[in-house]
Amino acid sequence: MTFNIILSGVGGQGILTLASIIDIAALNDNLFVKQSEVHGMSQRGGAVQCHIRIADKQIYSDIIPEGETDLILSAEPMELLRHIPSLKKKGWIITDSSTFENIVNYPDRHELYKQIKTHWHHMIINAKSCAKDLGNSKICNMVLLGAASSKLPIREEKIEAAINYYFREKSDKVRQKNIEAFRLGQKKAKDFTEFVY
């Protein structure tokens, strides 16, 4: 088994945090992991992407071959669409519906949603709104992780344990909010039928 994930977004959306948590969870589930990342000088608004490869045997390359991605998880819809050529024919795409309009000719978001919906396995979640409902818009990355968790080859309890471990030096309140966001994302994914805009 090899499962390939691309995480995408822009600086400040918690993509590298997501990658670290998935890595920790996979390793604690006795799986092999390789990761590479590209980020726009850590500036807010710069493109960020991570390739994560998870397998039950040794992996020799950290770069996902084109057309071999099982899941693209994105914190931004246009950033998601940049990576579509890497997607397997029946791969999953999951994104936050919130746009980060950092260029003057940013496409119409409704057109972006239409393009996303042309893919058989897609999910558009308003993760930012969910995070705000929980009192912290910074945890929308955990909502997205929860939404994607049933697609990952990692047991969900291992992901929750990884969230707790990653935030081990933060307060109980911070750890609990991140777990709440993860569980809300799981619920949103179970309830997801079609994104309405």
Burial 71-88 (b: 16+ CB within 10 A, else e): bbbbbbbbbbbebbebbe
Q: What is the pLDDT of residue 164?
A: 97
Write down the mean pLDDT value for the chain: 93
Which of 10-14, 30-34, 79-83 bottoms out in mean pLDDT, i.e. has the lowest? 10-14
Round to whole Å and give the CA distance between 50 and 42.
Answer: 13
Q: At residue 24, does pLDDT exceed 80? A: yes
Q: What is the pLDDT of residue 132?
A: 96
Q: Using alpha carbons only, give the angle 187, 185, 98 rounded to the nearest 5 degrees.
A: 130
- The model's confidence at residue 101, banded by pLDDT at 50, 70 and 90, is confident
- Give the residue with greater pLDDT, 170 vs 39: 170
Tell me whether strands 69-74 and 87-96 are parallel, antiparallel or unpaired: parallel
- The model's confidence at residue 43, banded by pLDDT at 50, 70 and 90, is low
Q: What is the pLDDT of residue 197?
A: 65
Residues 60-75 have pLDDT tens digits of 999 999 999 999 999 9
Q: Where are the beta strands (DSSP E) in the chain?
A: 2-10, 32-39, 47-55, 69-74, 87-96, 121-125
Instruction: Say if CB 52 and CB 33 are below 8 A apart.
Output: yes
Which residues is 35 bridged to in the sheet? Answer: 52
